[in-house]
Structure formats: structure tokens, C-alpha cells
A and B are shown apart, each in its own frame.
Chain A
Amino acid sequence: MIEFLNKLFGRHSSGATAKERLRLVLMSDHLSLAPEMIDAMKRDLVDVISRYVEVDREKIDVHFEHQDKALAMLANIPITGVNRNGGNGTKKDDEAAPNAGQHHAEGIGHAEPVEARPSNVEASPTPANGNGQRRRRRRKSTQHQNGAAPQTGSPAPAT
């Protein structure tokens, strides 16, 4: 009864605050204690995104931040080009990673031969719009626009 009234009036006890804070801190403790898991997740994340766009694997930054009442994963993944035929989920470009950085300024429109890059990227003859610009994609669990932005370029928040 009293508990109900307290809820009704939006009172928040320090016990509840303690529980909430603990929940968050333990999540981030567990994450920081499992670097292999973070690396594996980062790899998988990039593999999936790489099916659709070219990304600069060297400059990927994934970290976690406390945000209000949630723990957010912030992934900063520089996009170096757009895969026009993307989305078929067949591309696996681990071996192309070291070269990813060098053709980002060209976009994908140029018929310039791209070595060590199989699949459908160079097969696309038409210029992509928005090329020549390094894009940044940000993924997060909550709608926030703050956070570290170490690189220049127009932010493109993921939806």
C-alpha cells in the first residue's frame, strides 16, 4: 500500500538507486573483464557491416559508456565506401582489411582496380553518391549525440 503510494508519487528510495547503480556497474565490470568477448563482438559487428559498406578496420573504435540509466555501446566505424550491390550477405573481406584505408577518398565510383578485394565492390560501374567523404556510423543503445568523436567528417547516426 505504502509502496504503491510511493510509486504513485514517484519517490525513489536510496535502496532502489543502489540497485540500479549496481546493475550498471556490474555490467561494465563484466565487459571490462572480458576483452576477448569485446574483440570477437567487434569482429562480428564489422563483418556484418562490411557486407553493406566498406569500413576502415584500422580506425574502428568500440567502447562502452554509462548514459543516464543505461550502459551504451558506442561504435565508431569509419565508412570508406558504399557497396551498391550490398546486402546479399555473402561478402567476407577479412583479407581486404589492410587495404581498406587507401581508397576511401575515391569512393567506389572509379573503375580503378582494387587489389585484394574480391566480390562485388569493383564490379559496380556507377558512381555512388556521397562518395569522397568519409562517413561515420554510430551505433548505440540509446538516443544520444554526445560521446567522443575523434575523427572529422559528418556523423551519420545509425537508426
Chain B
Amino acid sequence: MHVLRQAQDDNQPDSTSQQVSLGRAIVITSGKGGVGKTTTTANLGTALAKRGAKVVLVDADVGLRNLDIVMGLESRVKHHVLDVLEEAVGLDEALVRDKHSSTLYLLAAAQTREKDDVDTEKMRALIESLRERFEYVLIDCPAGIEKGFKNAVVGAQEAIVVCTPEVSAVRDVDRVVGLLGNAFSPQLIINRVRAQLVKKGKMLSVDDVNSILRLPLLGVIADEPEVIVSTNKGEPLALRTDSQTAAAYHAIAARIAGEDVPAPTVEYKESFMSKLGAFFGGRK
């Protein structure tokens, strides 16, 4: 992980000493797969762009490209991140503009290549050049803690870790945070919280996860069917204004932007009778 510390050391002074203010490169990571990194990246990118920020999403999951399909941009992708790293095409040719926002762009991952094909130093340089052009560079990190992870974090200064309220996800986040070390000031998003199960004591609560991981809590996303529906359609939920879950993504975007937003919660209102029923039904 020496490489990572180096990255931090190199990048930190830039944001203050350079005349051109560089954007923020934030890696979205988790260790474990399937916790919602890509969905989170897509929605945070959409939410930040809705605020008017210039945002680029970088899919660092080389070989398992998915951010394009979640964003609904799969048909527009002509070139990918390795084309740029290997200087086969220029950055402008590879950047795909979002369907809905003129300030949101995607740099897709290569589908037919492997993570080992990525040159870590070139990746660092690419993220740096993206920071010159965008206010936010959101990097969708692959699962695992191998080369793909290192390539994803090398250019970042900040990290958002996505965790679900499951023992395996929490353990992996703990490991990833350990690997990140003192750098990246990781912040936590707890994804797929099912308030009803939490209430019944059948799921780790936000407080439980937080008390174990002890990270600044950036947001909480409920496990709602509309997230899946939006992914099916390739229309990130954060585009909508009539959804509580979308509002949670917007609250996270506001927090990232430095706004003081009230603490995130997931509410579940339950009648007294159903509580009573749950009590007499017993717990498992």
C-alpha cells in the first residue's frame, strides 16, 4: 500500500499550491462485491451533476464493465479507459456525455481486457488530468483488494466506502479501510438498509454498523424496489424528484459538496399492533 500513500502525498499539495484548482477525485469502494458501488457511483454522479457540478465517472472495473449500463449509456461507449491510457485515442474521444446532464461524463472500463493491463502510474496521471477538467472525478472501484483496487485508488484523494448491513460486507469494509491507511479520509454510505428488519432486530442497524466501523457517516440508502427498477431502465434514481431514496442520494451529494445536511436516517413507521405481533411471534 506504499503506492497509495505516495498518491496521497503527491496529490495533496496540488489542490492548495496550484493556481488551477483541481477537482476532487473520490474513489467509491467496498472490498466486497455486490453491495452497490456502481449504483452508488451512478446516482452520486447524477446528483452532483444536478447541482450543476462538472462530474466525470470513471469505471475502474476493467474486464467487468457495468457503470455504462447502469447509466444507460452502453450504446454510446466507443472507447474506454485503456484506449486512453495506451494513447490509442484522446481523452475527449473516450468521454461519453450523459443523456440527461450536459455536465456529466463517463469514461468506461475496457470489457475485453484485464485489470493487470492497467499501468498504475498512467492511471494516476489520467485521474490527475481529469481533475484539471472536472470538479468531481468519481472512480468506481472493482471488488477485491488486488491490482484493480490499487489502480482505482491511486489517483484519488478521498474515499467513499459502501457497506450493506451484513457481516461479510462490514468485515470487508473494515479491511479496505485498513488498507487505505490514514489517507483518503474514508466516509461511509450504508446501502440497502431494510428499516422493517432493523426494527425487528433482524438486521444490523445503522448504529450497529457505525459503532463497529467508526467512520464518518455520509448517508444511508434504503433497500427499495425503485432502485432496482431504475437500474433496469438505465435511468439513475437520482434523476427523480418524487422519491425518498433519490432524496437520500441528493442529501449525500449535498454533504459531499460541503453542505450541512441533517443526519441521515431510514424511517420505518410501525403500528403498535404489528409490534405486538412481532413480539409474540418471537425473534430470530
Which A residues have a C-beta under 8 Å from some C-beta of B? 1-3, 5-6, 11-16, 18-19, 21-23, 25-26, 29-30, 33
Does A19 lie within 8 Å of B204, measured CB to CB?
A: yes
Give every chain B residue within 8 A of A33 (Cβ-Cβ).
178
Give every chain A residue within 8 A of B278 (Cβ-Cβ).
2
Tell me if B128 is interfacial: C-beta within 8 Å of chain A. Answer: no
Segment of B5-13, B47-55, B167-175, B184-192 engaged in the interface with chain A: B167-175
Tell me if B269 is interfacial: C-beta within 8 Å of chain A. Answer: no
Tell me if B233 is interfacial: C-beta within 8 Å of chain A. Answer: no
Could you tell me the distance between the alpha carbons of A79 and B87 in the complex, rounded to whole angstroms?
67
Does A6 lie within 8 Å of B167, measured CB to CB?
A: no
Give every chain B residue within 8 A of A6 (Cβ-Cβ).
201, 279, 283
Question: B171: which of A3, A14, A26 is its contact (CB, 8 Å)?
Answer: A26
Could you tell me the distance between the alpha carbons of A127 and B197 in the complex, rounded to whole angstroms?
68
Could you tell me the distance between the alpha carbons of A21 and B204 in the complex, rounded to whole angstroms?
11
Could you tell me the distance between the alpha carbons of A13 and B275 in the complex, rounded to whole angstroms?
14
Does A18 lie within 8 Å of B204, measured CB to CB?
A: yes
Does B283 lie within 8 Å of A19, measured CB to CB?
A: no
Tell me if B203 is interfacial: C-beta within 8 Å of chain A. Answer: yes
Give every chain A residue within 8 A of B197 (Cβ-Cβ).
15
With both chains docked as a complex, state the minimum distance between the C-beta of B270 and any C-beta of chain A, in angstroms: 9
With both chains docked as a complex, state the minimum distance between the C-beta of A56 and any C-beta of chain B, in angstroms: 35
Could you tell me the distance between the alpha carbons of A18 and B275 in the complex, rounded to whole angstroms?
22
Contacts A2-B279, A19-B208 given; indicate if A14 touches B202 (C-beta within 8 A).
Answer: yes
Interface residue SS majority, chain B: helix
Does B279 lie within 8 Å of A15, measured CB to CB?
A: no
Interface residues in B211-261 (C-beta closer than 8 Å to A): 211-212
Interface residues on B, range: 20 to 34
Tell me if B263 is interfacial: C-beta within 8 Å of chain A. Answer: no
Does B198 lie within 8 Å of A23, measured CB to CB?
A: no
Does A13 lie within 8 Å of B200, measured CB to CB?
A: yes
Could you tell me the distance between the alpha carbons of A18 and B205 in the complex, rounded to whole angstroms?
10
Give every chain A residue within 8 A of B178 (Cβ-Cβ).
30, 33
Please name 18 pairs of A and B residues whose Cβ atoms are closer than 8 Å in the assembled complex, sorted by A: A3-B201, A11-B282, A12-B283, A13-B202, A13-B284, A14-B284, A15-B203, A15-B204, A18-B167, A18-B203, A18-B208, A19-B204, A19-B208, A21-B167, A25-B171, A26-B170, A26-B171, A33-B178
Does B284 lie within 8 Å of A19, measured CB to CB?
A: no
With both chains docked as a complex, state the minimum distance between the C-beta of A29 and any C-beta of chain B, in angstroms: 7
Which B residues have a C-beta under 8 Å from some C-beta of A? 166-167, 170-171, 174-175, 178, 197-198, 200-205, 208, 211-212, 275-276, 278-279, 282-284
Could you tell me the distance between the alpha carbons of A18 and B178 in the complex, rounded to whole angstroms?
21
Give every chain A residue within 8 A of B205 (Cβ-Cβ).
15
With both chains docked as a complex, state the minimum distance between the C-beta of A19 and any C-beta of chain B, in angstroms: 5
With both chains docked as a complex, state the minimum distance between the C-beta of A159 and any C-beta of chain B, in angstroms: 33
Give every chain A residue within 8 A of B175 (Cβ-Cβ).
29
Could you tell me the distance between the alpha carbons of A16 and B208 in the complex, rounded to whole angstroms?
9
Question: B167: which of A3, A22, A29 is its contact (CB, 8 Å)?
Answer: A22
Could you tell me the distance between the alpha carbons of A121 and B163 in the complex, rounded to whole angstroms?
57
Does A22 lie within 8 Å of B203, measured CB to CB?
A: no
With both chains docked as a complex, state the minimum distance between the C-beta of A80 and any C-beta of chain B, in angstroms: 39
Closest 5 CB pairs between A and B? A13-B201, A13-B283, A19-B208, A15-B201, A2-B275
Question: A22: which of B212, B276, B282 is its contact (CB, 8 Å)?
Answer: B212
Could you tell me the distance between the alpha carbons of A69 and B283 in the complex, rounded to whole angstroms?
20
Could you tell me the distance between the alpha carbons of A34 and B37 in the complex, rounded to whole angstroms?
29
Could you tell me the distance between the alpha carbons of A19 and B279 in the complex, rounded to whole angstroms?
21
Does A22 lie within 8 Å of B275, measured CB to CB?
A: no
Question: B283: which of A11, A21, A30 is its contact (CB, 8 Å)?
Answer: A11
In the complex, besides A13-B200, A29-B171, 17 extra interface pairs with C-beta distance below 8 angstroms are A2-B275, A6-B283, A12-B283, A14-B283, A15-B202, A15-B204, A15-B205, A18-B167, A18-B203, A19-B204, A19-B208, A22-B167, A26-B170, A26-B174, A26-B212, A29-B174, A30-B178
